[in-house]
Amino acid sequence: MKFRPIPVLMYHHIADDREVTPKQFEAHLRHLKEKGYRTPSLKELYAVLTGGKETSDKLVVITFDDGYSDNWICAWPLLKKHGFRAVIFVTTERLREGGGTRPTLAEGALSPDTQARERAPEGFLTWDELEAMTSSGVFEAGSHTHTHRGFVKLSSYADLGWELETSAALIEGHTGTRPLSLGWPWGHHERSWEGAVRKAGYRLAFTTVTGVNRPGCDPLYLKRIKVARGDMSWFRGRMLLHGLPIVSRLYGGMYGLDRRLKRRL
């Protein structure tokens, strides 16, 4: 059986004041549907990657990092409308208790202002919204650690094991489901962290390394494609590029080298 590469798309915000607007995001979803893609559950993804299931289907995984409120207001109703699943990696310290649910675009809400107070309490989901998103079957919740280390890039973890377990326990307590997946803040990950990841019960971990995934790859080091622009010419081009395994590997290698050089400079 011929296995297709599995792209994992990485979004953050979906809002009119961001790089991907709701209108553009809906165009992305329409394009994926027209090209015959479907979104697997994380259990199915794990089975395909580890050899427990064979499929020739065109799979794509849609992910969101951080847990911003616009993922509920703007992205959730569009995913539901077009029949796609997504994974949201939430920074559990930032989610609010007792906040209820806000109106969505489908209920007449406007796209929120995400720039002015991005990391203020109202900039993130409430636990009630996350519960509604996951109970609908449209979203699966994953961990983005508990604190995201204060959103300070490359800051060290005080206690990684505590971060991973606390986040998993909070997600399970509010949604009723233990998370299978972890999205590393800033994509920073180390081989020595595998033990803590496994101990907390995660079976899939997502990086920010550019590329696609195939059966047999390590499920704790999954690659993603950052959706940095909303226009369709860019999106079509990236989906086409990463649909060609050899070209995708070459591009990912060059992009990774470029990032390493920039960090050194």
What does the pLDDT read at residue 263? 44
Of 139, 156, 150, the closest CA to residue 94 belongs to 150
What does the pLDDT read at residue 117? 87
Question: How far out from the chain centre does Cα 196 lie?
Answer: 21
Question: How many domains does the chain divide into?
Answer: 1
What does the pLDDT read at residue 163? 97
H or E stretch covering 182: strand 181-183
Q: What is the CATH number of the domain that holds 30?
A: 3.20.20.370
In a domain, 1, yes or no: no
Mean pLDDT in order along the chain per 10 residues (265 residues): 86 98 98 97 98 94 98 98 98 95 97 92 97 98 96 91 98 98 95 97 97 95 96 94 68 52 39
What does the pLDDT read at residue 242? 84
Of 94, 194, 100, the closest CA to residue 144 belongs to 94
What does the pLDDT read at residue 257? 43
Q: What interhelical angle do 232-241 and 22-34 show, nearest 10?
A: 40
In a domain, 187, yes or no: yes
Q: Are 206 and 182 in contact (CB under 8 A)?
A: yes
Of 137, 147, 178, the closest CA to residue 67 belongs to 147
**How do residues 134-148 score in pLDDT, each as one tens digit?**
999 999 999 999 999
* Residues pairing with 222 in the sheet: 206
Q: How far is it, in rounded angstroms, from Cα 31 to Cα 44?
A: 23
Domain that holds residue 97: 8-264
In a domain, 230, yes or no: yes
Model pTM score: 0.93
- Per the listing, tokens 């499929």 go with 55
What does the pLDDT read at residue 121? 92
What does the pLDDT read at residue 99? 86
In a domain, 18, yes or no: yes
